[in-house]
Amino acid sequence: MYINIKKIRIMKTIMLALVLAFSTITMAQNKEMKKEKLSTEEKVAKQLEKMSTDLNLTEEQKQKIKPILEDQVKKREEKREDIKEAREKQEKKNREERQKMKKEMEENQANYKKDLSKILTPEQMEQWEKNKDERKEMVKDHMKERKRNKN
């Protein structure tokens, strides 16, 4: 009887180790899958398709918006690359630099909004604003969740 209990404990320990090993491997694979990056063209196409669906864009509007989106995506990628490089070098931006970067991003967003307002109807613009606010809230919630999981 003592031998059976010992064997059962060993089997339980082995099973637990296997479950932990497989879950770790699965999580690592999921992270790798998430890191699959889209090209600039794919990002633009995806955004344009989403806007087209959400705002019911005409073909003419799509043609006018596409170059604006391309410019936006390129600018965003450049900013992300700058941030990534600074992070890799472990450089901390001082408050002044962060404020400057924030101001540039806000100006960029304002110009984007202005360009869109020339192309979209007032109803479409209102829907775009609503969608933007919803996305902003989702990002905020996501960041809070990441912070919570980090601690």
Q: For residue range 56-102, what is the model confidence (pLDDT) as tens digits?
A: 999 999 999 999 999 999 988 888 888 888 777 776 767 788 888 88
Packing angle between helix 59-88 and helix 40-55, nearest 10 degrees? 130
Alpha helices (H) in the chain, listed in sequence order: 2-34, 40-55, 59-88, 95-119, 122-150
Q: What is the pTM of this model?
A: 0.66
Query: In sequence order, what DSSP letters do the residues of 36-51 get, joined into one string?
Result: -PPPHHHHHHHHHHHH
Flag whether pLDDT at 29 surpasses 70.
no
More confident residue, 8 or 119: 119
Q: Report the 10 Å Cβ neighbour count for 116.
A: 21
